[in-house]
Amino acid sequence: MNSQVILIVEDDPAIREGIRILLSGEGYIVLEAESGEDALEKINGAVDLVILDIMLPGISGLIVCEELRKNYNMPVLFLTAKTQESDKTIGLMAGGDDYLEKPFSYAELIARVKALLRRYRVYRGKKQSMSLDTDQILTSGRLKVALDRNEVWKDEVSVNLTETEYKILALLIQHPQRIFSTHMIYESVWEEPYTYSANSTIMVHIRKLRTKIEDDPQNPVYIRNIWGKGYRYEEQTALV
């Protein structure tokens, strides 16, 4: 029996039931919420993944995601009927890890769920099993990054990154001055084949990452955009 817990937040009972039957058939423990308020009451550290509809009565899915990100790092998969690029960007900026447009196939839903849970399981397993080994901490200017767990500090103050943000930073900081294309970042971090639509996903996650580690996200010191090529981490040998 799969012990991983998935919370479905969807106000349409037919969609919610279909997803529940599908995930239960795969062996997952499934919780359900029909509103944003209900979801916030049920979210806790035992939940491994949240499938979250953006358009909910009362508190929207975007607000739910922003609230849960204050305390939890489990992946969030947005379900949305909106197809405009700006709507997807807003969802990712709210803290989502991925999105799936309605109507969607159950095969695609299961593939996204398994990919998100696989990455989260590996990340959480490392975080729980590793000791606080200072040899695993990389220092670059005012940043310190633990390479064996999702812990980052700026000026000795802990920075709360999502799993995806941490994995992007860890990838770039271990290879300073190397330019990573969006293709390379996506396949390294998401561990899935690259598609052109992934460009906006990466852009949003890096934008959020910059807001957390840069003094001025509009003029980044650490993560630079090399136009037409990709992103590069600028190694800092002294305090900046």
The domain that holds 81 is classified in CATH as 3.40.50.2300
User: Is 78 inside any structural domain?
Assistant: yes
- 144, 216: one domain: yes
- 19, 98: one domain: yes
Determine the length of the chain.
Answer: 240
- 72, 87: one domain: yes
Coil/strand/helix, residue 115: helix
Q: Which domain holds residue 14?
A: 5-128
User: Is 240 inside any structural domain?
Assistant: no
Q: Which of 99, 128, 157 is the last residue of a domain?
A: 128
Q: What pLDDT is stored for residue 237 in this prediction?
A: 61
- 137, 157: one domain: yes
Q: How far apart are the first and last CA of the chain?
A: 51
Q: What pLDDT is stored for residue 127 in this prediction?
A: 52
**pTM, full prediction:** 0.61
Q: 197 CB contacts (<8 Å, ≥6 apart)?
A: none
How far apart are the C-alpha atoms of 31 and 38, rounded to whole Å?
Answer: 11
How far apart are the C-alpha atoms of 136 and 155, rounded to whole Å?
Answer: 18
Taking the chain (240 residues) in consecutive chunks of 10 residues, what is each chunk's mean pLDDT?
Answer: 84 93 92 94 92 91 91 89 67 82 88 86 54 66 85 90 89 88 90 83 92 93 90 71
